[in-house]
Amino acid sequence: MNRGDVVTAVLPREQGKPRPVVIVQSDTLTGSNTVIICPLTSRVEFQAPHRPQIEPSEANGLRSTSLAMTDKLQATPRDRCGFVIGRLEDGDLSLIEAGIVFVLGMQR
């Protein structure tokens, strides 16, 4: 799993239902037993400026328009992550990064 990969993961409080997530952790931390992820949701009615919209494509493996929930980042054990289903385009990953910067108050 690498930064920008879209994988499925079973997250706490999700009742065992896998959901797509984006790996946002730096590739330099591959030795860690956890990985920092950004969950995706297809419930686009929860749109907000810090939740970039990601359109489905063959490259990213998504089946529907999704929002990146940059306000719900979490470290999850690698063994809770499933298969890589795709990879985000650089532009989509940049939008997620901007959302994370906003949510964490790291604007300069």
pLDDT above 80 for 13: no
Number of domains in the chain: 1
**Residues 60-99: pLDDT tens digits?**
999 999 999 999 999 999 999 999 999 999 999 999 999 9
Determine, yes or no, domain membership for 108: no
- By residue range, what is the domain housing residue 33? 5-103
Burial 36-72 (b: 16+ CB within 10 A, else e): bbbbbbeeeeeeeebbbebeeeeebbbeeebbbbbee
Q: Residue range 37-44: average pLDDT?
A: 94
What pLDDT was estimated at residue 46? 82
Positive or negative: CA dihedral 62, 9, 22, 52: positive
Q: What is the mean pLDDT of the chain?
A: 93
CATH of the domain at 20: 2.30.30.110
